[in-house]
Amino acid sequence: MMKRGFLILSILTAILLAYALYQALVVAPTDALQGNVYRIIYYHVPSAWTAFLLFFINFVASVQYLARAKPSAQTAAKWIVIGIGVAGAIAAFLPPVQQELNSIGMRPSALATTVLLLPVFYLLLGKLFPGERLDMLAVTSAEVGVVFCTIVLVTGPIWARPVWGIWWAPGDIRLTSTLVLWLIYVSYLLLRRFSNSAQTQMLAAALAVSGALDVPLVYFSIWFFRTQHPQPVIGGGGSMDPRMLHTLLLSWVAFLLFAFLVCWSRFRLEVLRREVEEAYAMESLGEPAGVGSAPSMPLKRSTP
């Protein structure tokens, strides 16, 4: 059943990616100021949104993995997250906050929705991925997130060169913070890959939690800092032709499905890898490991 579902979703994703490409290159109008180079937005922006979502999942899974050691810590973390989500959503609609948000071109509903995602994801992931599966989800989302963040860093300069006249603006807070975000999660993956400590998973989770603080900086930087990066067209600060917006959202849905497929495959691989490691460990202790479960050579404990 899972294989059939994966196959069906793969075909659907391929069709949607192809249709999104057709919309981006043929149907969507050419930007009056930037010309055809503007069409890279249909890959640059969906890649960024997908990377942010995956890093957000990594953050939530890492927090729950750190808190799972004690039931009291789990309960406290859950209510803290719920409190932050509810308080943030309410605060977004308070008159002083609304006035400040309107002054920078941000809709209160956009901020409230973003904040509410935290408790929703926290509760959902805790139900779907209990125990060690939280750590598996964390490393999976980080790996795939780095891939999409790399796409952002590659397509950004390609877009910037004909528009700004330079490949990179070192003082731009959006560009610099995105590069720092990429470096943080690459460091996270390197830690998991090359560290053999028994505390590697806990250290990686702590790094992920601290590194995730850069995500809101990247996201909100264009509202709070002077930057060459274009203002957002969703959530306030700009406008977009309806055909462009339709194509952009369609591309994002296609990218989300593709990311889900990659995460699905990577997560299953991580589950199998850990089962093999556990079987080998059991066999090395002289206990039965199950038929055909032990490899001929030891596998490293770190993530490939």
- Full DSSP string of 123-186: HHHHHHS-TTHHHHHHHHHHHHHHHHHHHHHHHHHHHHHHHHSSS--TT-HHHHHHHHHHHHHH
Distance CA 152, CA 271 (A): 29
User: In the prediction, which pLDDT does 211 show?
Assistant: 83
User: In the prediction, which pLDDT does 5 show?
Assistant: 82
Helix, strand and coil content of the chain, in percent to the nearest 5, comes to: 75, 0, 25
Distance CA 93, CA 96 (A): 8
To which residue do tokens 């952009």 refer? 248
Q: Establish if 302 belongs to a structural domain.
A: no
Q: Establish if 298 belongs to a structural domain.
A: no
Q: Establish if 6 belongs to a structural domain.
A: no
What total of structural domains would you count in the chain?
1
Domain with 103 in it: 11-261
Taking the model in full, what pTM does it have? Answer: 0.81
Closest CA to 291 of 282, 299, 303, 304: 282
Q: Establish if 291 belongs to a structural domain.
A: no
Question: Which residues in the chain show pLDDT less than 70?
Answer: 1-2, 103-106, 169, 171, 220-239, 286-304
Q: Establish if 297 belongs to a structural domain.
A: no
User: In the prediction, which pLDDT does 92 show?
Assistant: 81
Q: Establish if 270 belongs to a structural domain.
A: no
Q: Establish if 245 belongs to a structural domain.
A: yes
pLDDT tens per residue, range 216-250: 777 766 655 566 556 555 555 556 778 888 999 99
Q: Establish if 241 belongs to a structural domain.
A: yes
User: In the prediction, which pLDDT does 118 show?
Assistant: 84
